[in-house]
């Protein structure tokens, strides 16, 4: 009876750990959703397109559903293990055991697939974030929502542009009426190509941006300065790298829990299969 009791406690402990791992994944995925959809009103994953936001959210909810399934299965397995231990000769338990083995196998395969899909999901998320940021560059001058978004992101993250500050200089903020004016700003007669960036690109120690000329255009204010001089007062790090870094810890934790969950499920299934064959 002692070995059986030890096996019972070990089985329950394994299922409890699996439930906690799956619940932790759900919480972390919810945190990821909050970071991308609430912190910046979803603009990081869609450029403001509601349909894209809903598709991204649907993908995340499906991944969470797999973890909820794991929670329910392993939580029920604890109850089933308790029934096995206290009433091992019940005529219904043999059929329940076979059914539960099939369900466990399906859950294991689903979690393996979900783990692979999560890696792909994150890759698509990063690509979508980058595309959204570039789309926001084009709208910076004309849309106050995007200008506020970029100013907030660049000020608080101490970054500039998507990859670097050159993204702003290369962006043609043009309208048909102001084409000549913008060409003069970007390529002044007899001068070198200037650094043309939003004021929010300035470093904290240079928050007044006294090293350049302030130009009020559209819905926001820009800073024009000689390219060589401007690099000393503006941030060089791109905002895409900053966003990636802010999400990296959450993504790593979810990936680690994915590996732990799948590894424990595969190991448990192999042990159960071996014991069944031996019996």
Which residue ranges make up each domain of the chain? 2-136+248-278, 138-230
Radius of gyration of the chain (CA): 28
Q: State yes or no: pLDDT of 30 exceeds 90.
A: yes
CA–CA separation, 91 vs 112, rounded Å? 33
Give helix then strand counts, H and E, for the chain. Answer: 9, 3
Q: What is the pLDDT of residue 23?
A: 94
What confidence tens digit (pLDDT) does each residue in 218-262 have? 656 667 666 545 567 788 889 999 999 988 999 999 999 999 988
174 vs 148 pLDDT, higher one: 148
pLDDT band at 2 (very low <50, low <70, confident <90, very high): very low
CA–CA separation, 200 vs 151, rounded Å? 5
CA–CA separation, 39 vs 243, rounded Å? 11
Q: What is the pLDDT of residue 217?
A: 59
Q: What angle do CA 69, 71, 73 make, to 5 degrees?
A: 70
């Amino acid at each position: 009876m002692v070995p059986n009791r030890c096996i019972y406690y070990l089985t329950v402990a394994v299922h409890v750990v699996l439930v906690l791992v799956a619940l932790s994944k759900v919480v972390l995925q919810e945190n990821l959703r909050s970071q991308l959809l609430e912190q910046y009103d979803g603009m990081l994953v869609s450029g403001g397109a509601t349909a894209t936001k809903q598709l991204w959210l649907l993908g995340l909810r499906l991944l969470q559903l797999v973890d909820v399934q794991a929670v329910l299965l392993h939580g029920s397995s604890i109850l089933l293990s308790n029934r096995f231990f206290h009433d091992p000769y019940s005529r219904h338990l043999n059929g329940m055991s076979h059914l539960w083995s099939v369900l466990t196998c399906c859950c294991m395969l689903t979690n393996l697939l979900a783990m692979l899909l999560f890696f792909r999901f994150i890759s698509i998320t990063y690509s979508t974030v980058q595309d959204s940021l570039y789309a926001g560059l084009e709208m910076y001058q004309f849309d106050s929502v995007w200008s506020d978004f970029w100013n907030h992101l660049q000020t608080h993250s101490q970054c500039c542009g998507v990859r670097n500050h050159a993204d702003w200089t290369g962006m043609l903020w043009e309208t048909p009426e102001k084409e000549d004016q913008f060409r003069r700003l970007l390529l002044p007669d007899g001068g070198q190509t200037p650094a043309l960036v939003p004021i929010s690109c300035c470093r904290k120690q240079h928050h007044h941006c006294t090293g350049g000329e302030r130009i009020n255009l559209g819905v926001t204010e820009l800073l024009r300065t000689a390219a060589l001089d401007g690099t000393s007062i503006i941030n060089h790090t791109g905002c895409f790298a900053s966003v990636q870094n802010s999400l990296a810890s959450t993504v790593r934790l979810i990936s680690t829990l994915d590996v732990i969950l799948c590894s424990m499920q595969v190991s448990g299934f192999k042990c159960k299969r071996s014991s069944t064959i031996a019996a």
